[in-house]
Amino acid sequence: MATMQVVQIKRYGGIDELVQVEVERPEPAADQVLINVHAIGINPVDYKVRAGYIPGFFGENNFPLVLGWDVAGTIAAVGADVSQWQVGDPVYGMVNFPTPAGAYAEYVLAPASEVAPKPASLSFEAAAAVPLVALTAWQAFDAVDLQAGDRALIHAAAGGVGHVAVQLAKLRGAHVIATASARNESFVRALGVDQFVDYTAALFEQQIEPVDVVFDTVGGEVQARSYAVLKPHAGLVTIVGSPPEELAAAHAGKSLSHLVHADQAQLAAIAQLIDSQQLRIELEQVFDFAELGAAHERMQSNRVRGKIVVKVI
Give the per-residue pLDDT at 248: 66
Give the per-residue pLDDT at 25: 98
Give the per-residue pLDDT at 56: 76
Domain 3-130+281-311 and domain 133-257 have a common topology: no
Q: Give the CA-trace dihedral at 262, 160, 178, 301, to 10 degrees.
A: 140
Name residues of the chain where pLDDT drops below 50. none
Domain 133-257, second-level architecture: 3-Layer(aba) Sandwich (3.40)
Give the per-residue pLDDT at 242: 77
pLDDT in tens, 32-60: 999 999 999 999 999 999 999 988 777 67
Write down the domain spans for the chain: 3-130+281-311, 133-257
Give the per-residue pLDDT at 252: 56
pTM: 0.96
Q: Is 125 exposed, middle or buried (0-12, 13-18, 19+ CB in 10 A)?
A: buried
Q: Is 61 exposed, middle or buried (0-12, 13-18, 19+ CB in 10 A)?
A: exposed
Question: At the topology level of CATH, where does 3-130+281-311 sit?
Answer: Quinone Oxidoreductase; Chain A, domain 1 (3.90.180)
Give the per-residue pLDDT at 78: 99
